[in-house]
Chains A and B, each alone.
Chain A
């Protein structure tokens, strides 16, 4: 039994990390109760999988999938105890600026780094390479994507808390699209973990040749999730730009960035529907994301370094 638990460490660590996050700031009794429930559940699921001879990759997906499906209920459970008692002394412009910079890093890293490459070689050789590159590298890559996904969900929540009082509809849209991008990246992380786990078993001679084709299907889904994340990020940033312009938090000239990106995004949609060349699609994809990344960085730094645009409006006392 210890062997299976060691191999499930990455999935269990992800669930434990999420549990620590949403139980933070709750009364000790409630926190302890929930953590005992989760520990017992993780153990029972691993024990049952071990007895049934379930593939490790599938067990990883099952555990992380259950965590993701339960997230809305976890958040609702958490709301019973109110927000953590944090006294924010940072002003609204600075808090927004900081979140925009975190979002810029998460957006670029989450949509540009993949951890695998199917264009250079055929999938079987790439699958073999994934399996041979070591568990630590694969776990770090999986953890990296989870951090990016959670960071995006966190930024979506905090930007919603800060900006919905300023512009209810646009800020809600921005937060919803950002949250969707974060969920897509979190699902990608779970898929990457499953693929790399399967690849490690294949490289060690413990998985059948059919594992290559099974993993290929997961990679196609993963690629779809990354496209979904990028497609959700663009409208999120447009909505954010509109909120910040309307509330004078962003300077007027900064509208050039999302406008340029919007034109590119529209052209990209036409190209994708028309199935034109891959190079054109790639160029327009970059033409969409690069101006948005530039906007996030420029406006983020401007807000972080100066409160001059809108005065020192204070952020809510709780988050």
Chain B
């Protein structure tokens, strides 16, 4: 079944919440592997999310305008002897969506009511 445009799947909401946690910790910018590790640790999961799942979700959130991204400066990557990272950060719209996702998660009753309301 094809999902509606601009509808977030649970993993995309998890990404937004993790991005919000990064911002609140004073690290507004993050790269793909860092957020995959953060999500796995938060969920106490042994396995990291698949490459395709992670980067497709990040690209979708970028397309929706909830995340913004830039390619890291080549000199910075060369100085650290590693490939260049694509750095992401929450936009204002993404922050609102992340806060809403966090509230929905912490309030199962309101989540249920939203589900009823949408039926």
Contacts and interface: CB of A to CB of B under 8 A. Distances in A.
B5 to A, nearest CB: 13
Residue from A15, A45, A69 having most chain B Cβ neighbours under 10 A:
A69
Interface stretch (A34-42, A220-228, A236-244, A296-304): A34-42
A66 B48 contact: yes
- Report the interface size class on chain A: 20 to 34
Given A45-B33, A65-B47, A40 B83 contact: yes
Contacts of A37: 32, 51, 55, 58, 86
A69 B52 CA distance: 8
Residue from A41, A67, A69 having most chain B Cβ neighbours under 10 A:
A41
A276 interface: no
Contacts of A39: 83
A16 to B, nearest CB: 11
A267 to B, nearest CB: 39
A48 B52 contact: no
Given A43-B82, A71-B50, A76 B56 contact: yes
A205 interface: no
Contacts of B53: 69-70, 73
Interface in B53-67: 53-59
A68 B50 contact: yes
Nearest to B63: A80
Nearest to B53: A73
Given A47-B82, A77-B59, A40 B33 contact: yes
B116 to A, nearest CB: 30
A34 B55 contact: yes
A44 interface: yes
A264 B18 CA distance: 54
Interface in A1-54: 1, 15, 33-34, 36-41, 43-45, 47-48
Contacts of B54: 41, 70
A65 B50 CA distance: 7
B82 to A, nearest CB: 5
A73 B56 contact: yes
Contacts of A126: none
A36 B71 contact: yes
A29 B32 CA distance: 18
Contacts of A48: 33, 37
30 contacts: A15-B51, A36-B83, A36-B84, A36-B86, A37-B32, A37-B86, A38-B51, A38-B55, A40-B31, A40-B82, A40-B84, A41-B32, A41-B54, A44-B33, A45-B48, A62-B47, A62-B48, A66-B49, A66-B51, A67-B51, A69-B52, A70-B51, A70-B52, A70-B53, A70-B54, A73-B50, A73-B56, A75-B52, A77-B56, A77-B59
Given A37-B32, A37-B55, A74-B51, 19 more contacts: A37-B58, A40-B33, A40-B83, A40-B84, A40-B85, A41-B32, A41-B36, A43-B83, A45-B33, A66-B50, A67-B50, A69-B47, A69-B50, A69-B53, A70-B49, A73-B50, A73-B56, A75-B52, A76-B56
> Top 9 A-B pairs ranked by shortest CB distance?
A70-B50, A70-B52, A69-B50, A73-B52, A74-B52, A44-B33, A70-B51, A39-B83, A73-B56
